[in-house]
């Protein structure tokens, strides 16, 4: 059972466009982390959100954690080719879970065309 669903799965846009990636679950998490992974490399942490309703900004990236801590979104403003990659959300500390293992989303593959 996939606890975290991401949408869209694939996204191809032109440089300068805006986009939003969604990460949804029926489970409550203690925190949610967003990673970006490039081919042949490991996931690189972008942000960790902990508090329901929290909004964090990282340059052109805006991350939001849902009030109920079940979902999150990533918004990119004025996308650039360097933003190309696989975006992964990962939830930690699912209610009832014993450890901090991460449950990863299905991933969103973003391609930004110059």
What residues make contact with another protein under the rule CB under 8 A? 2, 29-31, 33, 35, 40-45, 48, 50, 88, 90, 92-93, 98-107
CB of 5 to another protein, least distance (A): 11
For another protein, the closer CB: 18 or 100: 100
Asked if residues 98 and 85 have their Cβ atoms less than 8 Å apart, the reply is no
Sheet holding 55-58, edge to edge: 4-7, 19-25, 71-76, 61-65, 55-58
CB of 91 to another protein, least distance (A): 9
């Amino acid at each position: 059972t996939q606890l975290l669903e991401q949408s869209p799965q694939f996204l191809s846009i032109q440089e300068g466009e805006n986009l939003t990636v969604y990460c949804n679950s029926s489970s409550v998490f203690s925190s949610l982390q967003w990673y970006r992974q490039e081919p042949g490399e490991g996931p690189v942490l972008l942000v960790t959100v902990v508090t329901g309703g929290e909004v964090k900004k990282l340059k052109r990236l805006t991350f939001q954690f849902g009030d109920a801590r079940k979902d999150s979104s990533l918004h990119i403003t004025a996308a650039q080719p360097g933003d190309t990659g696989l975006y992964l959300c990962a939830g930690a500390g699912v209610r009832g879970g014993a450890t901090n293992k991460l449950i990863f989303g299905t991933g969103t593959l973003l391609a930004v065309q110059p």
